[in-house]
Structure 1
Amino acid sequence: MDKLLKSISYIFHPLIMPILGVIFYFAKSPRFIPEEVIHAKLISLFILTIILPLLLFFLLKTLGKVKTIKLETTKERIYPLFLNCIIIVLVLKRIVTPSQVLELYYFFLGILISNLTCLLLVILKIKASIHLMALSGILMFFIALSIHFSININGTLALMSIIIGAVATSRLHLKAHNYMELIIGFFIGLVPQLILVNYWL
């Protein structure tokens, strides 16, 4: 059970959530988008939101700024969150501009707001669950897309709810967070996406 719960935290790591949201968007969007455009954006996002953060993590580890990928202390979280904010700004400026894909622009803007909020909290020595932040943000984005495109994705939403419950259980079992940190993380991810829905739904 311990190995299962630990693996859940790695399988549903926050780094992969943004690109999963983008893949879901392209899979469900009724708009015609050339395949080469989709592939180009996915490759660019994979490099910027997964490969680059991993490389920066190893750089920070080499410099002694972080100890493990778990980022157990608030101090360890400052640099990764700050660098991730810069990466998201780059994504907004170069890859998902509002003139190209409005929904994805606001999705990533919500991610940026969540990351900035989390960064502010860690500066104030308040720890929030980044796992729950990422998952709740993508859940709200999926709900908004289902309304926006008038599609039935109840199965996906149910699965996402189960995943959120499993990840929360995993984080508690591993003593990575307490209940309050999970709740804070959940709302940090969900609320920005909910507010920004008003601008594109």
Structure 2
Amino acid sequence: MPVQFDQHRLATFVSWVISPVVVAPAAYLAVILLGLRADPERFSYLTILFSASTFAPMALIYGLKKTGRVSDYNISFREQRFLPLLVLVVVNAIGYEFMQQMHAPRLLSGILLFNAVNTVLILLVTLQWKISIHLFTYTSSVALLFLQFGPGALWALPAVPLLMWSRMVLKAHNFMQTLVGALIGFAVMYVELRWWTGL
């Protein structure tokens, strides 16, 4: 008897593996451990970035799910995204201040500064439309790696169609919401960090 392909299960797996709380920390890990190996403060920087990009969002979403403020961990409903996005703006702004106090490399402080700025952008879009945060985060992370390591980082872009497919199969987004998230995520982060760092 042939094994039936379960595209919903595969799409769910892809969405979790290439989720914002996985992708962003992986990019930060590469930037700091590979790009800043000689910096004695690199683990302090990593702690701040992980706190803002992983620990705080996971704790926030878990708490909101437990209290019934959001229906699922991916916050599928546009109307439920305002509060968590607002909190993430504050968390990233605080992280930026910590980086400034530590005199961290401008690339690192820029990550948190523009995470806050871009979350405001997503928040404003969310008032009227539902952009894909999965795609926005993934391609902005690729833009960060591209700035740090050069064209070799672009090998990660072929995963974009796969992630778009997974979000559409799960009915979390339509085609335009994933495409716009992908395009804006890369373009905005690339332009912002290039301007901020002078690269």
Q: TM-score, normalising length from structure 1?
A: 0.84
Distance 1:100 1:21 in 2: 17
CA contact (8 A) 2:33 2:42 kept: no
Q: Which residue of 2 aligns with 1:177?
A: 173
Shift of 1:99: 2.9
Counterpart check, 1:59 vs 2:63: yes
Match of 2:136 among 126, 133, 137: 133
Q: 1:96 to 1:50 in 2, by over 3 A?
A: farther
Q: Which residue of 1 aligns with 2:79?
A: 75
Distance 1:55 1:27 in 2: 25
List alignment gaps of at least 5 residues for structure 1. 148-152
CA contact (8 A) 1:113 1:192 kept: no
Task: Note the alpha carbon deviations across 1:107-163, whole angstroms, 9 max, x for none.
Answer: 222322221111001122x0000000001101111111134xxxxx62x421x1122
CA contact (8 A) 2:20 2:138 kept: yes
Shift of 1:169: 1.2
Distance 2:100 2:8 in 1: 39
CA contact (8 A) 1:97 1:105 kept: no
Shift of 1:72: 1.6
List alignment gaps of at least 5 residues for structure 2. 1-6
Distance 1:100 1:140 in 2: 20
Q: Which residue of 2 aligns with 1:22?
A: 28
Match of 2:184 among 176, 188, 196: 188
Shift of 1:82: 0.8
Query: Counterpart of 1:157 in structure 2: which amino acid?
Result: L
* Equivalent residue runs for 1:34-183 within 5 Å: 34=40, 37-95=41-99, 99-124=103-128, 126-147=129-150, 154=152, 156-158=153-155, 160-183=156-179
**Which deviates further from its counterpart, 67-76 or 128-137?**
67-76
CA contact (8 A) 1:137 1:193 kept: yes
